[in-house]
Amino acid sequence: MERDWVVLLAGINRPIALAEANAVLSRIDLFCEIAGASLFGILLSKFDPVTCLKLAAGLMLGTLPVVVVLTWLTNKLSTGVLDRTKTSQIHCKTSPEEPLPNDGNKVNIGLEAIKHGWKEYMQQPVLPASLAFVLLYFNVVLTPGSLMTAFLTQHGLNPSIIGGFSGLCAFMGIAATFISADLVRRFGILKAGAAGLIFQASLLTIALAVYWSGSLTHQRPLLFFLSLIVLSRLGHMSYDVVGAQILQTGIPPAKANLIGTTEVAVASLAESVMLGVAIVANNVSHFGFLALLSLLSVVGAACMFCQWLLNPTDEHRSLFSFDPQF
């Protein structure tokens, strides 16, 4: 809904305003993630885990009314833009005379909804951009996360350096939200997306080459390896913001929620599959293989998007007629 609402608030035909709105939303998300993790860490240093969980739950409950009020206020200040009706989506109705569906029918309805969502997802006009976004979720190794933390711990790296690595990756994400709007302003939406993917793929290729060189047993090459991953987050988060705008621009408003939900489901499935592979190949000696799979997914995303960009159709020219690319 957030993706859908920001289009209504910023306007689909105002690419710079939409890019800035997406960047601000991502920036707020990242700031809140950093602040939340820091606050929870402070609480853990002073209280026991159960008390910290109670405080976190209480904070979530306490802020829920604030979220509702702010949403209402947003709608009011934007003269009811969130209330504007769109083309009705496919839904099922049951008349008072008809019996309620039994469990078997509910299963069939659920399966039909999944099939319909998948069909609409595959037929969307900006499918390559969406698939590139999904492919990035296969990268679960060359990114700040549990697998990278385990790898660095196995190498005996100082915990403060590991924490600094994660923190720098988060701040690079915030920096990318400032850069993405400027990229859209300078190059247009499509070239800005390609720039983010190519930048990330290039740096991760160098990082993997450093790993395969076998020099990570020394601290300086290891820190260079981590620095490349940190810088690659600029490209990743830039595409995260720009890619969202491409989908917001290219998907018909009546199908935005359906296609957006399906995309999130497919991306989560991709991440789960990769984590499943990591569980099977759980020995630290398999880290290079997992890193190679992660790199191939990012390179594949960049190639797919660039191929789509270099071979536009009349439909793409119509959808992105305001873009300098066309």
State the pLDDT confidence band at 139, using cuts at 50, 70 and 90. very high
pLDDT for position 26: 84
d(CA 123, CA 125): 6
Q: Quick one: three-class SS letters along the chain?
A: CHHHHHHHHHCCCCHHHHHHHHHHHHHHHHHHHHHHHHHHHHHHHHCCHHHHHHHHHHHHHHHHHHHHHHHHHHHHHCCCHHHCCCCCCCCCCCCCCCCCCCHHHHHHHHHHHHHHHHHHHHCCCCHHHHHHHHHHHHCCCCCCCHHHHHHHHHCCCCHHHHHHHHHHHHHHHHHHHHHHHHHHHHHCHHHHHHHHHHHHHHHHHHHHHHHHCCCCCCHHHHHHHHHHHHHHHHHHHHHHHHHHHHHHHHCCHHHHHHHHHHHHHHHHHHHHHHHHHHHHCCCHHHHHHHHHHHHHHHHHHHHHHHHHHHCCCHHHHHHCCCCCCC
The pLDDT tens digits for 182-191 are 888 888 889 9
Q: CA Rg, the chain, in Å?
A: 22
Query: Residue 231 pLDDT > 90, yes or no?
Result: yes
Query: Residue 299 pLDDT > 90, yes or no?
Result: yes
Residue 232 in contact with residue 204, Cβ under 8 Å? yes
pLDDT for position 85: 54
**Between 58 and 218, where is the model more confident?**
58
Query: Residue 210 pLDDT > 60, yes or no?
Result: yes
The pLDDT tens digits for 88-112 are 444 444 444 445 555 567 788 878 8
pLDDT for position 325: 61
Residue 125 in contact with residue 316, Cβ under 8 Å? yes
Query: Residue 15 pLDDT > 80, yes or no?
Result: no
Helices 127-135 and 219-250, axial angle in degrees (round to 10): 150
pLDDT for position 313: 82
d(CA 110, CA 20): 37
d(CA 192, CA 300): 17
d(CA 140, CA 298): 11
Residue 237 in contact with residue 181, Cβ under 8 Å? no
pLDDT for position 308: 92
Comparing CA positions, the residue from 306, 37, 4 lying closest to residue 163 is 37
> In the chain, where are the structural domains located?
124-320
State the pLDDT confidence band at 25, using cuts at 50, 70 and 90. confident
Give the range among 2-6, 32-36, 235-239, 301-305 with minimum mean pLDDT. 2-6
Contacts of 302 (CB under 8 A, 6+ apart): 132, 194, 197, 198, 200, 201
Phi, psi of 155 (to 5 degrees): -85, 5
Query: Residue 59 pLDDT > 80, yes or no?
Result: yes
State the pLDDT confidence band at 258, using cuts at 50, 70 and 90. confident
Q: State the residue for tokens 């499943």.
A: 276
pLDDT for position 87: 44
Query: Residue 304 pLDDT > 90, yes or no?
Result: yes
Query: Residue 205 pLDDT > 90, yes or no?
Result: yes
Residue 209 in contact with residue 225, Cβ under 8 Å? no
Record the pTM.
0.79
Instruction: Count the neighbouring beta carbons within 10 Å of the beta carbon of residue 275.
Output: 14
pLDDT for position 228: 95
Category of 116 on φ-ψ map: left (φ > 0), alpha (ψ -120 to 50) or beta: alpha
Give me the mean pLDDT over the 130-152 stretch: 89
The pLDDT tens digits for 268-282 are 999 899 889 888 887
- Options 3.40.50.2300, 1.20.1250.20, 3.50.30.50, 3.50.50.60; CATH for 124-320 is 1.20.1250.20
Average pLDDT, the chain: 83
